[in-house]
Chain A
Amino acid sequence: MTESQAIEGWRPTEEQLLLLQAALFDGEDARAAWRSWSARADIERLDPGSNRMLPLVSYNLDQLGVDDPLSARLRGYRRQTWYKNQIWLSEMARFLAEFERAGLQTLVLKGTALVLLFYPDCGLRPMTDLDLLVRRDQARAAMSLLAELGWKANDEDMERRVRSASRKNGADANGDLASARMTSAALERRVRQGHATDFVNSARLRIDLHWYVLPENRGPDADTDFWNDAVPVRIGNFTTRALSPTDTLLHVCVHGAKWCPVPPMRWVADAMMIMRVAGDRIDWNRLVRLARKRRLSLPLGRALIYLAENMRAPIPPAVLLGLRDTPTTWSERMEYRMFSRPRKAGENYSALSVLWFVHRRLDEARSGFHSVVTFPVYLQHCFALEQFSDLPPFIFSKLVQRGRRRFGWGKLKSHVYR
């Protein structure tokens, strides 16, 4: 293993790779991978990432006529996955219709789109939530609609902002305009800082509402090319959109080449299924062009190399060479390193680090010095502060809040920036 591979926490382990090969290879290669995996793995103690692969493994083993003592349980897992996904899709169709009635355009990302467009049936890939993209300028309206439909933001702070903003009309009617402006500004601040947020309902279903496809790429026209190339996808009696196969492959690989507490090995299966089903519809030139434009050549290139070397993915060599030879900046390499290395339990990315990389991307045409000088102004914009002089006390209040949460500091006076 090379030094760079050693820090890539997103790479499946040897055991996980065997399971992937059992799920995706043909013939004796798949059977051999299965025999090797089942000889060394304990199905009673699987990591969550491997667990989620079992329905697809079951499908492939049945296709190959493999009869194993585990077959019945694996088929049962596949049946349950199908059952859960059908119920989930039925719920999705209902509230997507509400979004349309409210004039909000939608595009489904990740699991929902993958299951509907690239997997043979709904029982092969467990879904735990709906990743839903709306236009950036419709993000707040989407959140208000979700609140009306009984969904709550998973983040307490975000939930408070959404609820306050949803009561804005009532505040206006009472003449409390200052309060209404503040709560609306608070929600806008969170939207500017992030790219998505989770919502849950009383049935414990989850929606991950996105207003940008990728956390790395934000700004007014960040997703125009994705929306323009979107394809229709049917959920029950409702038709919405999904990324094109090429763009889905980009999304899956870039997302997959990041470390995650739950082993992200499923991206390997997703990418292979996309290539298998889409075939010649993958526009490799567009894939490389978008990766370069979005400065994502490094994670995409690493992911595709992994697929080619370990899963025999049919990726044109010219694509791999082109991505490998694309110049990358020091900032891109540091960003990739930050997101791909394993994190300890409880360790989170520093919000300022994440915002720094986003700012650097938005400021890409300028020098690093320019980005450093303008970073505070970017933070002012992100935090929706009216004056630049509000930034230092705002950051101080955030540090105090964080200290309270982490270290149980006593209550200190701080500016009320919510």
Chain B
Amino acid sequence: MSIDERLRYTISNPPIVHESFGDEAVIVNLNTGAYYSLDKSGLAIWNLISQGASIGEIVDHLSSRYAAERGKILVSVAELISSLQGEQLIHSESDAVHRANDPVESNSNSGEKIPFEPPLLNKFTDVEDLLILDPIHDVDAAGWPQKR
């Protein structure tokens, strides 16, 4: 599979809004009410996308942080981006190829690399349920939106 690592993407705002809560990014499509979450490597990828990083820059960043082959990380990043595009959370920048490379802040992590887990995009679409679920009494140990 040939992946153009120069491609960059933009968060489709509006109607997409997002916020980082410590170790998790939450994303909402205000048109549908659908709720998404990303953590671990998914959170890192999302943050880099929002900073304007190209696929190549994202992969380089993750490669310096996670113990996995670059090729494997590249495939995982491409798959997540495909999912995000499919959900209309991001769209590609039309002038990505010709845009001057604005350097993304590099990860100067010189410590031990951590095991790589492919990113997982969690999606919740039952808006009514999301709204009425009691976040203290009706949830499991992980908290809302995970029901008890």
- CB of A77 within 8 A of CB of B141, answer no
Residues 77-136 (chain A) with a chain B CB within 8 angstroms = 77-84, 86-87, 90, 121-123
A73-B139, A86-B17, A122-B19 are contacts. A79–B28 as well, Cβ < 8 Å? no
User: How many A-B residue contacts, CB cutoff 8 Å?
Assistant: 69
1/0 contact string of A59-86 vs chain B (CB within 8 Å): 0001000000000111111111111101
Q: Mark B105-148, 1 if CB is under 8 A from A, else 0.
A: 00000000000000000000000001101011101011111100
One of B17, B26, B136 near A79 (C-beta < 8 A)? B26
B21 touching A123, Cβ below 8 Å = yes
Give the secondary structure class of A's interface. helix
Q: Is A347 an interface residue (CB 8 A)?
A: no
- Whole-angstrom distance between the alpha carbons of A236 and B16 in the complex? 11
A51 interfacial by beta-carbon distance below 8 Å: yes
Interface residues on B, range: 20 to 34
Q: Is the CB–CB distance between B145 and A72 below 8 Å?
A: no
Most buried by A among B133, B137, B139, B144: B144
Kindly report which residue of chain A lies nearest to residue B139, judged by CB atoms. A76
Q: Are the C-beta atoms of A87 and B19 separated by less than 8 Å?
A: no
Chain B residue contacts of A75, Cβ below 8 A: 21-22, 143
Contacts of A78 in B (CB 8 A): 21
Contact of A83 among B14, B28, B136, B141 (CB under 8 A): B28
A395 located at the interface, meaning its Cβ lies under 8 Å from any Cβ of chain B in the complex: no
A46 to B134, CA, bound (A): 13
Cβ of B33 under 8 Å from chain A? yes
Residues of A contacting B142 in the complex (Cβ-Cβ under 8 angstroms): 72, 76
Interface of B is mostly: loop
CB contact between B136 and one of A62, A77, A90, A237 (< 8 Å): that residue: A77
What is the number of residues of chain A that contact chain B, defined by CB distance less than 8 Å? 27
Is B14 within 8 A of A77, CB to CB? no
Complex Cα–Cα for A81 and B139 (A):
14
**Contact in complex: A84, B21 (CB < 8 Å):** no
B46 close to A (CB within 8 Å): no
Contact yes or no, A86 B30, CB < 8 A: yes
B35, CB-defined interface residue at 8 Å:
yes
A126 vs B139: C-alpha distance when bound (angstroms): 18
What is the CB-to-nearest-CB distance from A126 to chain B, in angstroms, rounded to a whole number?
Answer: 10
| A87 near B144: Cβ-Cβ < 8 Å | no
Most buried by B among A81, A86, A122: A86
Q: How far is the CB of B89 from chain A (nearest CB, A)?
A: 14
- B19–A123 touching, CB < 8 Å: yes
Bound CA span A72–B144, Å:
9
In the complex with contacts A83-B28, A87-B33, A73-B136 CB distance below 8 A:
yes
**B31 shortest CB reach to chain A, Å:** 9
Q: How long is the Cα–Cα vector from A82 to B22 in the complex, in angstroms?
A: 14
Contact A87 B143 (CB under 8 A): no
Bound together, the chains give a CA A74 to CA B22 distance in angstroms of 13
Q: A79-B145, A87-B28 are in contact. Are A44 and B130 (CB under 8 A)?
A: no
| A43 at interface by CB-CB < 8 Å | yes
- Min C-beta distance of A238 to chain B, whole Å: 11
List, in ascending order, chain B residues with CB within 8 A of A76's CB.
Answer: 135, 139, 142-146
Query: CA separation between A87 and B136, bound complex, in Å?
Result: 21
Report the separation of the CA atoms of residues A153 and B123 in the bound assembly, to the nearest whole angstrom: 36
Pairs A–B under 8 Å by Cβ, sample size 15: A54-B136, A72-B143, A73-B136, A76-B144, A76-B145, A76-B146, A77-B135, A77-B143, A77-B144, A79-B26, A82-B26, A83-B26, A83-B130, A87-B30, A90-B15
Query: Beyond A73-B136, A87-B30: 14 further Cβ-contacts under 8 Å?
Result: A43-B136, A44-B137, A72-B142, A73-B144, A75-B22, A76-B139, A76-B144, A76-B145, A79-B21, A80-B130, A80-B144, A83-B35, A86-B17, A121-B19
Q: Which B residues have a C-beta under 8 Å from some C-beta of A?
A: 14-15, 17, 19, 21-22, 24, 26, 28, 30, 33, 35, 130-131, 133, 135-137, 139, 141-146
Interface positions of A (Cβ within 8 A of B): 43-44, 46, 51, 54, 62, 72-84, 86-87, 90, 121-123, 236-237
